Chain A
Amino acid sequence: MDKETLIAQLKEIVKPYAKNQEALLNINENTDFVNDLKINSANLVDVILDVEEQFNIVIDNESMERMLDVKSAMEIIEAKLAAK
């Protein structure tokens, strides 16, 4: 899966939780879920659960610790998909 497709999929996932719509429109690898998109910390777990469902992967606690931005999320998703 190429990066643009993955970012587009992540954009759809975070859309319901993002409070900063402008940052959502400009989402890219460097976008931070909390500082940029203003997703509240309780909704980060929804993002993680939605990612698990969408990609049919399991995000372990160690990976979850790093899931604070688009770049880390992409790395984790790619690694989990590759390990399937």
Chain B
Amino acid sequence: MIGNDIIDLHLARRESNWQRKGFLSKIFTAAEQQMICQATIPSDMVWLLWSCKEAAYKIINRITNNRVYNPVKFNCTLSDEQEDTITGTVLFEACNYPFISYRNNSYIHTVAVSHDVFLNRIDIYTGNSLPSHLFTTGNALVKNQDGVPYLMNCGTYSTIPVSISHHGDYVGLVRNNLFPGV
């Protein structure tokens, strides 16, 4: 299972005042709030952690089909933080969801998976529009009755789970690729 979340950092700056009273404590654990306080650029840490929670939430939502607004129950831990790539895990109800995040000055794109092995078996796209080449070779984007997206091969009707995220100028997409390199 996969989930992804993209944040347009310029838009996030305009849309949210994370410094308002009560904001951090409603959505971040005490440990996460400490990570934000100690970060070189606190706002970057706010949106990094938020994207991790959202990406992991999308996996849970895909499995349970239950909509709940409980970001504080998703515990993020970073294991490696480079300037442009961050890895770690999100703990939710005793299950770990590994994630990888890519960031630059304009966006943060986080992909979470239900198990480590999937991190090597996914294709990740980040851009200003959906990657059109995915949809031209007999593939169509379909959604099941709960709104969960899949890529369907129009010849065989076989489906591959995809996760799509939009924010501001950016679109993120991740799809399972069980045969990397093919």
Contact of A43 among B15, B22, B67 (CB under 8 A): B15
Additional pairs, 11, CB under 8 Å, beyond known A42-B50, A49-B21, A66-B69: A40-B167, A41-B54, A41-B69, A42-B16, A45-B27, A46-B17, A46-B20, A49-B22, A49-B23, A64-B26, A64-B69
User: What is the chain B residue whose CB lies nearest that of A32?
Assistant: B67
Select from chain A the residue with minimum beta-carbon distance to B22: A49
Our pick among B15, B20, B27, B70 for the contact of A40 (Cβ within 8 Å) is: B15
Binding site for A on B (CB under 8 A): 12, 15-17, 20-23, 26-27, 50, 54, 67-73, 167
Residue of B nearest to A72 (CB): B69
Q: How far is the CA of A52 from the CA of B25 in the complex (A)?
A: 14
- Interface digits, A59-83 against B, CB 8 Å rule (1 contact, 0 not)? 0010011111000000000000000
The residue in chain B whose Cβ has the minimal distance to the Cβ of A58 is B22
Where the two chains meet, the residues of A that have a C-beta atom closer than 8 Å to any C-beta of B are 17, 34, 40-46, 48-49, 52, 61, 64-68
- What total of A-B pairs shows CB separation below 8 Å? 43
Q: Which residues of A sit under 8 angstroms from B69, Cβ to Cβ?
A: 41, 44, 64-68
Interface of A is mostly: helix
Question: Complex formed: what's the CA distance from A49 to B22 in Å?
Answer: 7
Q: Is the CB of B68 within 8 A of A65?
A: yes
Shortest C-beta distance, A23 to chain B (Å), equals 17
| Chain B residues in 8 Å Cβ range of A68 | 67, 69
CA distance A43 to B16 in the complex (A): 7
Q: In the complex, are the beta carbons of A48 and B26 less than 8 A apart?
A: yes
| Distance from A72 Cβ to chain B, minimum over Cβ atoms (Å) | 10
Chain A residues near B70 (CB, 8 Å)?
Answer: 61, 64-65
CA distance A45 to B17 in the complex (A): 11
CB distance from B181 to the nearest CB of A (A): 35
